Amino acid sequence: MTRKRIEIKKIDNTMARQVTFAKRRKGLFKKALELSTLCDAEIALIVFSSTGKLFEYASSSMQQVIERYNLQSKNLNKMDQPSLELQLDNSTYSLLCDEIVGKTHELRQMKGEELQGLKMEELEKLEQLLQEGLSRVLTAKDERFVEEISALERKGAQLMEDNQRLKLVSGLIEFLSFFVTLLLIN
């Protein structure tokens, strides 16, 4: 059996009004909690009863949510100013751009470009970094050579074994053909 819809209008009976208020307030707070949990939303809910009693729910701190609301409403009044979230994105973007510029400059210096203006200590540090990097490259190259030589030696040994087997098979074939020839002659 389905529940019938009630008409949304002020409830005249004060006792029924208070019961409805309590039940619906609990449902409203429950929905706010669910929305906050499911969607990671920051929620603040303030309810005053008809008697003036305050009921509140906040997913984090009520004060933080109100401060954020005030900040947001100030930003809405200033349409030409970007939101706090956009400002944070812009500052992150600026930091990343600066980091890219710095790393590009370091890479050019490692390639031997844009060296003018560097002090002797900076040049020596750059030289040491390059020598360490070159040492790692040479070590990796030597390891690769050793691996390739070992692989070629294994391949050579395998070819020698295959060659020995082929010689053995070839000798066996010669012997059999000689034997068959003798049998045919006799």
Strands 54-58 and 44-48: antiparallel
**14-81 placed in CATH 3.40.50.720:** no
Tokens of 66: 């109100």
What is the pLDDT, as a whole number, of residue 40?
87
Place 158 in a pLDDT band, splitting at 50, 70 and 90.
very high
Question: Which residue type does 92 have?
Answer: T
User: Per-residue b/e over 64-90, b at no fewer than 16 CB within 10 Å?
Assistant: ebeeeeeeeeebeeeeeeeeeeeeeee
Give the C-alpha separation, 141 to 82, whole Å: 53
d(CA 121, CA 153): 47
- Tokens representing 112? 């031997």
Does pLDDT of 121 surpass 70?
yes
Nearest to 58 by CA among 71, 82, 38, 41: 41
Summarize pLDDT for 55-109 with one digit per residue, the tens: 898 888 888 888 888 887 776 666 555 555 666 666 777 788 788 888 888 888 8
Percent of the chain with pLDDT over 90: 31
CB atoms within 10 A of CB 91: 10
